[in-house]
C-alpha cells in the first residue's frame, strides 16, 4: 500500500484536521516522503530512540505513534531531535503521529479503550477542549468498589500500579476518562456528577480538589492509559492487509 493512502485513511478516520487548532502536536505524517511503498507498519506509544530502533529492527516501513517528535514547531534539527530523526531518514522509516485525535476517538481512542476495558456502558464524549472532546464517560451495569476498579486498571499493558485518591462513594457507578495527563478535567467530572475520574498522572492540587468534591481519582499511569489507541490502529492496518508489529516500551510513568 502507498504511504499517501495510509496517511489519508488515518487522517480521515481520526478526523485529524478537527484538532489542528487545539493540539500542540503536529498530527499526521511528521517524517517521510510524499510517496513510498509500505508493507510493514510498527505501532508504539512514543517516538523515541528505543521505539524507532525497534521499528527498524522489525524492518518496518512506517512507525505510527501517539506521542511524536514535533510539538509547536521545530526550529533546529540538533541534539536529541537529530538523534531521533536521523535514524528515521537513514532507515527509510516514515513517522505518523496522532495525539489528541487518538485520545478522543469514541471507538478507537485511548479513552474508549479504557472505558471498554472497565466495562463501562452508555458511553458519551467527555473531556471538552474547545469544540472537541478527548475523553469518554460511562456507567457500570453494577457499581464497583475502588479496589475493583484499581485491579482492572493495574491489568493495563505497562502498568506500574494505580494510585487511588479514594474520596468518592463506596460504590462507584459512573466514571469519566481522560487518558495521559487528564486531571485538569476534574471540574468537568464534578459538573457532570460522575463518581470517579480515571486518568494517567496527577498534579498536587488534585488531591484537595477531589477530596473537597467527594470524587475518586484513579492515576493509572500516562503510558499505561495510552496504549489502547495505537493498538486499535494496528487492528485497522491488519484489516487493510498490512503486516504489523506492536512495540511495547513501558515508561513506568
| 145 and 65 share one domain | no
Would you say residue 253 lies in a domain?
A: no
Distance CA 16, CA 8 (A): 10
| 8 and 74 share one domain | yes
| 135 and 70 share one domain | no
| 66 and 14 share one domain | yes
Measured in degrees and rounded to the nearest 5, phi and psi for residue 137 equal -125, 155
Q: Which element (helix H / strand E) includes 125?
A: strand 121-129
| 129 and 84 share one domain | no
**Averaged pLDDT, 223-249:** 98
Q: Which element (helix H / strand E) includes 204?
A: helix 204-213
Please determine, for residue 190, whether its predicted confidence score (pLDDT) is greater than 90.
yes
pLDDT, residue 136, reads 98
> How does pLDDT run across 201-221, given as a tens digit for each residue?
999 999 999 999 999 999 999
Would you say residue 252 lies in a domain?
A: no
CATH number for the domain harbouring residue 79: 3.40.1390.30
Domain that holds residue 139: 103-225
| 54 and 26 share one domain | yes
Residue 67 marked ligand-binding = yes
pLDDT, residue 28, reads 98
Residue 222 marked ligand-binding = yes
| 184 and 118 share one domain | yes
> How does pLDDT run across 50-100, given as a tens digit for each residue?
999 999 999 999 999 999 999 988 888 999 999 999 999 999 999 999 999
Would you say residue 251 lies in a domain?
A: no
* Residue the block writes with cell 479496589: 147
**Averaged pLDDT, 18-26:** 95
Q: How many CB atoms lie within 10 A of CB 31?
A: 20
Residue 226 marked ligand-binding = yes
Residue 66 marked ligand-binding = yes
Number of domains in the chain: 2
pTM score:
0.96
| 141 and 30 share one domain | no
Residue 99 marked ligand-binding = no
Amino acid at each position: 500500500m502507498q504511504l499517501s493512502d495510509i496517511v489519508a485513511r488515518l487522517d480521515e478516520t481520526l478526523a485529524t484536521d478537527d484538532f489542528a487548532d487545539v493540539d500542540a502536536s503536529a498530527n499526521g505524517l511528521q517524517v517521510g516522503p510524499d510517496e513510498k511503498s509500505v508493507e510493514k507498519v510498527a505501532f508504539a506509544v512514543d517516538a523515541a530512540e528505543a521505539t524507532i530502533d525497534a521499528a527498524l529492527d522489525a524492518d518496518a516501513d512506517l512507525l505510527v505513534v501517539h506521542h511524536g517528535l514535533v510539538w509547536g514547531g521545530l526550529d533546529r534539527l540538533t541534539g536529541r531531535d537529530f538523534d531521533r530523526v536521523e535514524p528515521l531518514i537513514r532507515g527509510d522509516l516514515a513517522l505518523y503521529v496522532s495525539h489528541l485525535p487518538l485520545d478522543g476517538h469514541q471507538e478507537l481512542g485511548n479513552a474508549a479503550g479504557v472505558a471498554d476495558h472497565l466495562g463501562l456502558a452508555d458511553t458519551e464524549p467527555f473531556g471538552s477542549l474547545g469544540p472537541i472532546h478527548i475523553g469518554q464517560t460511562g456507567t457500570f451495569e453494577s457499581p464497583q468498589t475502588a479496589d475493583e476498579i484499581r485491579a482492572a486498571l493495574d491489568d493495563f499493558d505497562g502498568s506500574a500500579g494505580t494510585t487511588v485518591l479514594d474520596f468518592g462513594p463506596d460504590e462507584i457507578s459512573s466514571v469519566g476518562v481522560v487518558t495521559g495527563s487528564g486531571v485538569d478535567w476534574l471540574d468537568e467530572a464534578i459538573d457532570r456528577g460522575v463518581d470517579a475520574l480515571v486518568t494517567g498522572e496527577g498534579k498536587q492540587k488534585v488531591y484537595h480538589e477531589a477530596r473537597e468534591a467527594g470524587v475518586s481519582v484513579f492515576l493509572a499511569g500516562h503510558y499505561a492509559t495510552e496504549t489502547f489507541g495505537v493498538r486499535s490502529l494496528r487492528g485497522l492496518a491488519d484489516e487493510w492487509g498490512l503486516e504489523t508489529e506492536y512495540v511495547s516500551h513501558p515508561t513506568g510513568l
